[in-house]
């Protein structure tokens, strides 16, 4: 009780203040919540309580250069949870010690949005195993020094969730957990200001339920019913679901689609100030019950919308956020071969407080949306619509002599605003090269994949690999034959892990190249999230220059984003004695001035 009480007493005033403000001083509901969170504390396994205490003493535990993440679909990688447990050695060999398993809770077949339509927050999908399996996998991961991350799909439930079923059947209390309307009057008002998430695959933000003659809010797919967080019962119950998952041994809770959780008429229903009140309350509750657990916010928005989710130094919200704009800018750079925008983007991120930890990535399970800094690009005469068209043409291989093989996603017929899908390898030209049997092109593609990962590792924050990228997994076109998936091109990059491909020469080169990079990253603390980062002019628009400094150590890195050899203006001091190229181990002078296509240099000095 002591630990709980100590943490609770410190935070109760703020929690009460926020809760009462949001829920009209409903003290009965707050008491229920406080009582419930204590029960979750009581139920929390001892080993996790010990871990909480260790992490409380080392609050920066997740900011080091030794943390490397990987996200994966359990079924694609190893059939089920037991399979993952047996294959931990594989990810460990790569230096991965943080495992994000894609949604694995119960969701109806064919109407699951890849697991993002949860029908039971306390049950694992039967094909993947049981809650006991998840618990035992998490325990094994902890024994082996691996943290686990799981999605908490909090914006909506599946239409098959018990609350949804009751609501459909007419239960008044259950209906209050969602947004139900007798007719289209209010929904039509909402539609005036609320943009669409899936304009092609799921247009509109509401769905007509013919059986009960009601309209229900469905921001995402029609079978994903938005929860109403203005109802304190929803907040209380969902907090309990979150703590339940934390108690299974989940270290990082990914707050799925968090900007959407507060809805208000005549607003965009994104990033409402009350979303921040809710996230702050969740942070306080985790700090009381399970302070070793981190919140990772999924905010796929422009940087000015993302950063507020860190909260303030005194009142923090999320521990980590995705660096989505840098990811999109990276693929823009692959297409344009001009590093200017990326430089600007990296400089902006590095100017933010070092306490902000970003999760960096090249690809994930979702599409790439072209949320770039168009105001800045306009200075160079770049028009947003035309540029998106260029990026999509280039990355789908539709022109410009491009070897990329992506597919469009949600090609909005009105806004003409398509997004893009595809694996790192296919977008980098490996699929085309192998299809053509062109060895020269294949080598260039492999170098591109490795260069991109080296660049990923030298950004500020934690890198998150996408399972399959480490062996150059290409697009999977079989989704087109599946009636539940064919309309959603995100399945293009959600294919089964090709274990047999691992033996190919190309896969080995990528895997061992990446392993080398990850070992170097873990070894040198110049890669630490606390290191200072700046970009510099390499004298060549195709080559990105990044300088990292930490405790007297400096790394000057060069990344050639073009498919041709490039000359660079070496930083003066790189020629001095003491510098060494980390990846090849060559001495500075031996490196020269010419970089091969998609080349990388990590010039390091320990002086």
Catalytic residue numbers read 256, 298
Whose structure tokens read 């070894």? 523
DSSP string, 373-392: -HHHHGGGT--HHHHHHHHH
Q: State the minimum distance, in angstroms, from the CB of residue 490 to ligand GLC.
A: 7
Q: Which of 481, 467, 490 is nearest to 75 (CA)?
A: 467
Residue 323 or 402 with smaller CB distance to ligand GLC: 323
Q: Which of 491, 457, 455 is nearest to 475 (CA)?
A: 491
The answer to whether residues 219 and 205 touch, using CB atoms and an 8 Å cutoff, is yes
Residue 482 or 565 with smaller CB distance to ligand GLC: 482
Residue 243 or 257 with smaller CB distance to ligand GLC: 257
What are the percentages of helix, strand and coil residues in the chain, rounded to 5? 45, 15, 40
Segment contacting ligand GLC by CB under 6 A, of 111-119, 394-402, 406-414, 569-577? 111-119
The answer to whether residues 561 and 542 touch, using CB atoms and an 8 Å cutoff, is yes
Mark residues 352-391: x for contact with ligand GLC by CB under 6 A, - for none.
-------------xx-------------------------
Burial 420-429 (b: 16+ CB within 10 A, else e): bbbbbbbbbb
Residue 290 or 324 with smaller CB distance to ligand GLC: 324
Q: State the minimum distance, in angstroms, from the CB of residue 457 to ligand GLC.
A: 23
Q: State the minimum distance, in angstroms, from the CB of residue 297 to ligand GLC.
A: 11
Q: What angle, rounded to 10 degrees, do the helices at 439-457 and 505-523 form? A: 20
Q: State the minimum distance, in angstroms, from the CB of residue 316 to ligand GLC.
A: 23
Q: What are phi and psi of 96, to 5 degrees?
A: -75, 130
Residue 149 or 289 with smaller CB distance to ligand GLC: 149
- The Cβ-side half-sphere exposure at 131, using a 13 Å CA radius, reads 11
Distance CA 58, CA 117 (A): 36
- Binding to ligand GLC, residues 250-279 (CB under 6 A): 256-257
Q: State the minimum distance, in angstroms, from the CB of residue 63 to ligand GLC.
A: 24
Given candidates 113, 287, 317, 581, which one binds ligand GLC under the rule CB under 6 A? Answer: 113
Distance CA 420, CA 409 (A): 5
Q: State the minimum distance, in angstroms, from the CB of residue 220 to ligand GLC.
A: 4
Residue 258 or 452 with smaller CB distance to ligand GLC: 258
The answer to whether residues 593 and 567 touch, using CB atoms and an 8 Å cutoff, is yes
Distance CA 529, CA 545 (A): 18
Segment contacting ligand GLC by CB under 6 A, of 63-71, 73-81, 109-117, 310-318? 109-117
Residue 107 or 475 with smaller CB distance to ligand GLC: 107
Q: Which of 306, 368, 366, 378 is nearest to 331 (CA)?
A: 368
- Binding to ligand GLC, residues 144-203 (CB under 6 A): 153
Q: State the minimum distance, in angstroms, from the CB of residue 393 to ligand GLC.
A: 25
Q: Three-state DSSP class for 123?
A: strand
Residue 113 or 431 with smaller CB distance to ligand GLC: 113
Pair type for strands 532-536 and 579-581: unpaired
Q: For ligand GLC, how many residues bind (rule: CB under 6 A)?
A: 10
Q: Which of 242, 351, 236, 350 is nearest to 294 (CA)?
A: 242
Distance CA 489, CA 482 (A): 11
Q: State the minimum distance, in angstroms, from the CB of residue 326 to ligand GLC.
A: 17
Verify binding: residue 309, ligand GLC, rule CB under 6 A: no
Given candidates 77, 116, 601, 602, which one binds ligand GLC under the rule CB under 6 A? Answer: 116
- Binding to ligand GLC, residues 119-148 (CB under 6 A): none
Which residues, at least 6 apart from 546, have a Cβ–Cβ distance to it below 8 Å? 346, 455, 458, 533, 534, 535, 536, 555, 556, 557, 559
Contacts of 346-352 with C-beta under 8 Å, sequence gap 24+, read 346/459, 346/533, 346/535, 346/546, 347/534, 347/535, 348/303, 349/303, 349/323, 349/459, 349/460, 350/460, 350/532, 350/533, 350/534, 352/307
Which residues, at least 6 apart from 279, have a Cβ–Cβ distance to it below 8 Å? 255, 258, 295, 297, 309, 311, 317, 318
Segment contacting ligand GLC by CB under 6 A, of 70-78, 113-121, 272-280, 347-355? 113-121
Give the tokens for residue 233: 């019962």
Given candidates 206, 220, 229, 558, which one binds ligand GLC under the rule CB under 6 A? Answer: 220
Q: List residues near ligand GLC by CB under 6 A.
A: 113-114, 116, 153, 220, 256-257, 298, 365-366
């Amino acid at each position: 009780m002591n630990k709980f009480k100590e943490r609770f007493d410190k935070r109760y005033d703020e929690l009460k203040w926020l809760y009462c403000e949001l829920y009209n001083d409903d003290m009965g509901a707050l008491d229920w919540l406080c009582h419930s969170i204590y029960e979750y504390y009581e139920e929390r396994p001892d080993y996790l309580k010990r871990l909480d205490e260790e992490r409380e003493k080392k609050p920066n535990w997740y900011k080091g250069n030794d943390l490397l993440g990987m996200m994966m679909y359990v079924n694609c990688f190893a059939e089920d949870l037991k399979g993952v447990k047996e294959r931990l050695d594989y990810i460990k060999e790569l230096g991965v010690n943080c495992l994000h398993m894609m949604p694995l809770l119960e969701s109806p077949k064919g109407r699951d949005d890849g697991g993002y339509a949860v029908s039971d927050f306390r049950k694992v999908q039967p094909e993947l195993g049981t809650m006991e399996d998840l618990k035992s996998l998490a325990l094994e991961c902890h024994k082996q020094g691996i943290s686990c991350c799981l999605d908490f799909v909090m914006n909506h439930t599946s239409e098959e969730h018990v609350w949804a079923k009751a609501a459909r059947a007419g239960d008044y209390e259950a209906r209050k957990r969602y947004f139900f309307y007798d007719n289209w009057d209010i929904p039509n008002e909402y539609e005036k200001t609320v943009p669409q998430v899936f304009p092609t695959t799921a247009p509109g933000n509401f769905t007509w339920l013919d059986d009960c003659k009601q309209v229900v809010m469905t921001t995402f797919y029609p079978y994903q019913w938005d929860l109403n967080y203005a109802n304190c019962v929803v907040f209380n119950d969902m907090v309990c679901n979150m703590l339940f998952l934390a108690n299974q041994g989940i270290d990082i809770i990914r707050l799925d689609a968090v900007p959407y959780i507060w809805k208000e008429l005549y607003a965009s229903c994104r990033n409402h100030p009350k979303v921040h009140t809710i996230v702050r309350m969740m942070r306080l509750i985790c700090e009381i019950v399970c302070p070793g657990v981190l919140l990772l916010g999924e905010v796929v928005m422009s940087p000015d919308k993302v950063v507020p989710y860190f909260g303030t130094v005194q009142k923090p919200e999320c521990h980590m956020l995705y660096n989505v704009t840098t990811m999109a800018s990276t693929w823009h750079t692959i297409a344009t071969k001009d590093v200017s925008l990326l430089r600007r983007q990296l400089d902006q991120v590095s100017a933010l407080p070092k306490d902000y930890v970003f999760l960096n990535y090249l690809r994930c399970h979702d599409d790439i949306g072209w949320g770039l800094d168009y105001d800045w690009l306009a200075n160079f005469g770049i028009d947003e619509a035309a540029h998106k068209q260029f990026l999509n043409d280039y990355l789908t291989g539709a022109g410009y002599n491009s070897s990329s093989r992506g597919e469009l996603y949600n090609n909005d017929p009105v806004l003409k605003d398509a997004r893009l899908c595809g694996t790192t390898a296919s977008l980098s030209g490996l699929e085309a090269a192998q299809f053509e049997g062109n060895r020269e092109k294949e080598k260039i593609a492999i170098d591109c994949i490795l260069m991109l990962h080296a660049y990923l590792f030298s950004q500020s924050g934690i890198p998150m690999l996408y399972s399959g990228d480490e062996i150059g997994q290409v697009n999977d076109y079989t989704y087109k034959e599946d009636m539940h998936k064919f309309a959603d091109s995100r399945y293009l990059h959600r294919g089964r892990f090709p274990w047999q491909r691992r033996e190919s020469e190309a896969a080995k080169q990528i895997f061992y190249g990446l392993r080398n990079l990850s070992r170097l990253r873990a070894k040198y603390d110049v890669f630490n999230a606390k290191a200072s980062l700046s970009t510099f002019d390499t004298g060549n628009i195709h080559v990105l220059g990044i300088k990292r400094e930490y405790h007297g150590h400096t790394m000057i890195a060069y990344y050639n984003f073009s498919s041709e050899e490039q000359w660079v203006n070496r930083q003066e001091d790189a020629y001095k004695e003491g510098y060494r190229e980390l990846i090849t181990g060559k001495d500075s002078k031996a490196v020269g001035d010419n970089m091969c296509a998609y080349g990388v240099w990590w010039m390091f000095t320990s002086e």
